[in-house]
Amino acid sequence: MNKSVTKILTVFLLFLFIQNEAAAQNGVVRGIVSDRQTGDALVMATVSIQPLPDGDIKGTATDNNGHFQISRIEQGRYEFLVRYIGYTTFRDTIEVTQEDQILLRNVQLRPSSEELGEVNVYDRAKANNAGQIRIQPETIGRAPTPGGSADFVSYIQNQPGVLATGDRGGQLFVRGGTPAGNLVLMDGSLIYQPFHIVGFFSVFPEEVVSSADFYAGGFGAEYSGRSSAVMDIRLKNGNLYETGWAASVSPFISDLFFETPIKEGKSSVLVSMRGSVIEATSGQYLQEQQPLRFNSQLVKYNSVSKEGLGCSALMMRTYDRGKLDFESDQYFKWSNFVTGGRCSVASEESSLSFMEMNFGLSHFNNEAGGQEADTRKSSIFKSNLDIQFAHYLGLIRLDYGLFTNFRTVNYDLVNRFISLDENETSFLTTGAFLEFEIPVGQYVSFKPGVVGTSYLNRLNPKLEPRMRVSLDFSEEFGTSLHGAAGIYYQHLIGLSDFRDAGTAFTAWMLSPDEDRILKTTHYLLGIRQSITRHLEVSVEGFHKKIENTPISIWNPVAEFTTDLAYADGNVNGVDARIDFTTPNFYTAIGYGYSITEYETSQDHFLEWYGEPVQRYHPSHDRRHQLNAQLGFDVEAFSFNLNWIYGSGMPYTRPMGFDSFFNLEEGIPQVKDDYGNPRILLDKPFQGRLPDFHRLDVSVERLFQLQKADMKLQLGAINSYDQQNLFYYDVFYQRGINQLPIVPYFALKFSSK
C-alpha cells in the first residue's frame, strides 16, 4: 500500500475514535424495528417522538437494517411512536432524565390488515438515493411469471435501463454495463450467478424476499468491487411462531417452500427448493423440446433477542445446464455454492449506534463445450469477512467498515484467447470504506464517501471517492431531487466473448494488465414528483465514462480464436417512469433511452479499414426500451399484463465470402479444390437486429379451502406469437429465435 493511502486510512481511523466535544449530544433514543412474526428488519419505518403534553415532533426513518437513531433530545417525557404501513402502530412513553443518556428501544411490530387502509405500496418502496429502486414483495408479483411463485428477476427485467438478452441465458445488462459488472448480494453474501438459464427465474422467488435495493448506478461507498450495478437482496426470515408451507407446479418449474419456528419467538428455519420441469414437458406441448435444466436449494436459520441482537446463517446451492442454440451441440453449465452468516446489534451501552458483522463463502463454476469444441472452464472461490458500524456525531451519521477477501480463480480457455490459456491465481484484498450523511437545513442531505482497497502488492491500491446528494421537498410539494457521482474500479474482471450475443460463459480473472484496470465514472441526476397520493413520476439522466473494459480483438475474418484487447467508452441516457397505484389497481409505464459507444485501437484496423481507431456500439446497445404493466384485483381474481419493447441491438454484418488453402496440409490442387470457405466481416457491430416486443399475461384465482389456500394461474408468454430473435450467429450466419407463444397453467397450494 502506498504512503498516501496509508496516511489517509490512518487519519480516518484516528478520526473515528476521537470524541469531539463539539459533537456532544443530549439524550438519544435508538433501536431496531422488526416484524414480530419473523424478525425481518422493517425498512423505512417512521419513528417519531413528541414532548408531553405537547410540542414539536422530531422523527426519522429506519435504514436497510431497520435501525434508527434520534439525537439531541432534551430532558423530559415524550410520546414515542413507530409506524409502518400494514402494521399496528407502536406507542410508548420515554423519559430522558440526564444529558448524554442513551435509550434503547427495539420495537417488534405486529402485521395488521386494519392498518393497511388505502395503501400505496410506494409509500413502503420510496428510495431517496440516485439510481436506487427499493423493491418490496408486493411489487414482485406484478410481472407475470410462468410458475406458481413470482420471481425477482422477472420484475427487475421490466425496469428502465435493464436489458435481458432474451428468455434464456441468465444475463442482465444495466445502463451499458456488462453482467460481470453487477454485484448481487443476498443477506450480505455474494452470489456470482443468481439467474437461471431460463430467463424468467432466479434463486429469489417471492416467498424468500423480504426487500431489495437495486442500484442502476451511483451506489454508495459500502459497495465495492463492481463497476456497473448493485442488487442487494435481504432474505426473509422463517416465522418465529407458526409453521408455514407452499408448493407449486407449472410446465416450467416446481417449487417447495417451508418455514417453522425452532424455539418459539427466538429462532426459526426457512427452506426453499426449486427445480425445472420444462425439459420434460416442452416436448409434449411446445413446437420443440427445450434442453434447459436448473435447480436451486436454500436453507436459512435465524435467531433474535429482545436486546436487539439478531443473527442468521444461510446455505444455497444452484445448478444450471442447457443449450442456448437448440440446433447446436454446444452446451453451457454453471453452479453456485454459497454459505455465510451475519450478526447485527444496536447497543445501549456503546457510543456506536449500530454494528454488523458478515462472513461468507462463495464458489462459482461454469463451463462451455460440445462435441465439436473443447471444453472451456472457469471457477472462482471467495471468502469474506466484513465489519460495518454506524456512528453519530451530533446530527451527522457516519457509516464505516473494514473488509477482507480471499479469492482463488481458475480458468482454462483452450486457446479461445491466445494470451489467456490456462491459469490459477490466489490473492488477498483488504480495504475500508467511509460515508457521511450530512443534513443541511431541513431539506438537503449530502453523502460524501470513499472506498480504499489494497491488493497487497499484486496491483496498485485504489481510492474511489463518491458523492450523493438529495433535496427532499416531498412534504411540501411532493418533489425530491437527487444526484450522484463517483469512481468505481473493478480489479476482478469477468471475461466473455461478446462477438456474438449467444454466450453464457464467463471467465473470472484478476486483471491481466495492472496498468489497465477497469474503471467507470458515474454521474446521475434525477427527480421524483408525486402528483397525487397514488400517482408518481420519476425521471433520471445518467452518464458513464468507461475506461479499460476488456473486449475481444476483432478480426475481419470469422475465427473462433481471438485475443484480449481494451476499449474506452461512454454511456449516456435517461430513464423515465410513471406509476399509478391503488389497493386493487396499478399501472406503470417505463421508458429508457441510452447510447453506449466504445472506442478501441487494434493493430490490424489500419490495414483493413484505413483507420487505426474504431468506434462502435457493442452488442448490448439497445437504444430504446419501453415497458408497460397493468394489473387489478376483483374479489378472488387477479389479472396481470406486461408488455415490453426493445429496439434492435447491434450485430456484425458479413461483408463477403472467400476461400483459403492451408499450405501446411500440402500443395493444393487449385484446379480441383476450391479451398476452405470463410466469411469476411464488416466493421464491428455496424448492423442492427430486428426490434423485440412481447406481451405476457396471467389470470389468477384464489380458492380458500378448509385447510389450505389454492391458487390457480392461467397465462401466456409471448401471447401474440411474435418471432423475436435471441441472437445472430456470426460464424454460421443464422438466427436463433426466442420462445413462441407459450400458454401455461400453474397450481399452488399454501398454508393458511
Contacts of residue 494, defined as CB under 8 A and 6 or more positions apart, other chains included, come to: 178, 179, 180, 181, 506, 507, 508
Which residues of the chain fall short of a pLDDT of 70? 1-25, 113-127, 350, 372-373, 415-422, 497-502, 557-562, 661-665, 670, 730-733
Pick from 505, 518, 629: which is nearest to 579 by CA?
629
Contacts of residue 350, defined as CB under 8 A and 6 or more positions apart, other chains included, come to: none
Q: Alpha-carbon distance 607 to 415, whole Å?
A: 25
Q: Where are the domains of the chain?
A: 26-115, 123-750
pTM above 0.85, yes or no: yes
- Residue in this structure with the C-alpha cell 439522466, named with its chain if needed: 541
Pick from 572, 391, 461, 14: which is nearest to 224 by CA?
461
Q: Alpha-carbon distance 600 to 612, whole Å?
A: 9
What does the pLDDT read at residue 710? 95
SS3 37: coil
User: 337 near 366, Cβ under 8 Å?
Assistant: no
**Phi/psi of residue 87, each to 5°?**
-130, 155
CA 291 to chain centre: 27
Same CATH fold assignment for domains 26-115 and 123-750: no
**Phi/psi of residue 703, each to 5°?**
-115, 125
SS3 250: coil
Radius of gyration of the chain (CA): 27
User: 5 near 460, Cβ under 8 Å?
Assistant: no
- Residue in this structure with the C-alpha cell 489500419, named with its chain if needed: 606
Q: Alpha-carbon distance 373 to 263, whole Å?
A: 54
String of DSSP letters for 278-315? HHHHHHHHSSS---EEEEEEEEEEEEE-TTS-EEEEEE
Angle at 448 between CA 447 and CA 454, to 5 degrees: 130
What does the pLDDT read at residue 22? 40
Cell readout for 239 is: 416465522
The residues facing 162 across adjacent strands are 174
Q: Alpha-carbon distance 251 to 295, whole Å?
A: 14
Pick from 583, 430, 412: which is nearest to 509 by CA?
412
What does the pLDDT read at residue 421? 64
Q: Alpha-carbon distance 445 to 706, whole Å?
A: 53
What does the pLDDT read at residue 228? 95
User: 277 near 286, Cβ under 8 Å?
Assistant: no
Q: Alpha-carbon distance 456 to 430, whole Å?
A: 8
Biggest CA–CA distance in the chain, Å, is: 106
Instruction: Extract long-range pairs of 18-25: CB within 8 Å, 24+ residues apart.
Output: 19/351, 20/393, 22/394, 23/393, 23/394, 23/396, 24/100, 24/394, 25/71, 25/72, 25/100, 25/392, 25/394
- Residue in this structure with the C-alpha cell 451475519, named with its chain if needed: 342
Was domain 26-115 assigned CATH 3.40.50.720? no
Q: 123-750 is classed in which CATH architecture?
A: Beta Barrel (2.40)
Helix (H) or strand (E) holding 744: strand 742-750
**Phi/psi of residue 97, each to 5°?**
-110, -10
